Amino acid sequence: MPSIEFLGVSKSFVRHSRGRQLLRAHLTALLRPAPKDRFYALRNISFKISHGENVAIVGANGAGKSTLLSLLAGLAAPDEGSIHVSGRIAALLELGSGFHPDLTGRENLFLNASLLGLSKKRAEQIFDKVVEFSEIGDFIDEPLRTYSSGMMLRLGFSVAVNVDPDFLIVDEILAVGDQSFQAKCFGKIAELKRNGKSLVCVSHSPAVVQRLCERALWLDHGELLVDGKTEDVLKMYEGQSTLRTRVSS
């Protein structure tokens, strides 16, 4: 059965100097190698998502949510630990991801489908469904650089949900676009869930998280604090957020 498993996964990045320290850092680098200042976006993360589970990733800005999704989508590799994925993943992490601005919508559709593991024949079979769902009509043969952010969302989402993914990954992307298309997206996600597919999403909206996911992972400063039922996790997360607000005010 399709599944996702993180085992002791950590991911770090180099912290770059800013402001007045930038020139000093460059001069120092010319004279002698400077020690790398690294920070951990994720530290020792372990969890498993089985086929059919719908999981939300919650946490404050900088908690490591987007980094986790990037690792899951294969856009980055962990520094430590291992990630095991069985099944097809379709990810919507940022507008235009996997697309080329100089190619037409049609060309990008085939390019994106190929990146998601579809053959040209299979991409041709789903072409009409993708275009119909996206509602971009004749713009399918226009360069992507002429698209609005809403049109890019429509095309990206339409490709992702029509490649028959085992896991659909969404990172706040549905905040873009008009309400009618957002409703259409939620309807399609509900259909995928009924067909036994899984959703892994990041959203700052408790209503969206509760609507879409039965389970939630709470990240804080790169660490997994809680893994449990969505309602329970949100109560703990929102309670801590309220406490922090009172302390800082």
How does pLDDT run across 138-173, given as a tens digit for each residue? 899 999 999 988 888 889 889 989 988 999 998 876
Stretch (H or E) spanning 131: helix 120-134
How does pLDDT run across 14-67, given as a tens digit for each residue? 875 554 455 555 555 555 555 567 789 999 999 999 989 999 999 999 899 999
Question: What's the full length of the chain, in residues?
Answer: 249
Give me the CATH number covering residue 130.
3.40.50.300
pLDDT at residue 240 greater than cutoff 70: yes
Range of the domain at 81: 3-248
pLDDT at residue 181 greater than cutoff 60: yes
pLDDT at residue 2 greater than cutoff 70: yes
Q: What is the CA radius of gyration of the chain?
A: 20
- CA 161 – CA 184 distance, rounded (Å): 12
Q: Is this model's pTM higher than 0.85 or not?
A: no
pLDDT at residue 243 greater than cutoff 60: no
- CA 197 – CA 51 distance, rounded (Å): 7
> How far apart, in Å, are the Cα atoms of 59 and each of 71, 171, 242?
17, 13, 13
Q: What is the pLDDT of residue 178?
A: 75
Number of compact structural domains in the chain: 1
- CA 154 – CA 131 distance, rounded (Å): 9
| Lowest-pLDDT choice from 39-53, 85-99, 195-209 | 85-99
Average pLDDT over residues 177-183: 80
Q: What is the pLDDT of residue 27?
A: 54
Q: What is the pLDDT of residue 108?
A: 92
- Cβ atoms 55, 216 nearer than 8 A: yes
- Cβ atoms 208, 176 nearer than 8 A: no
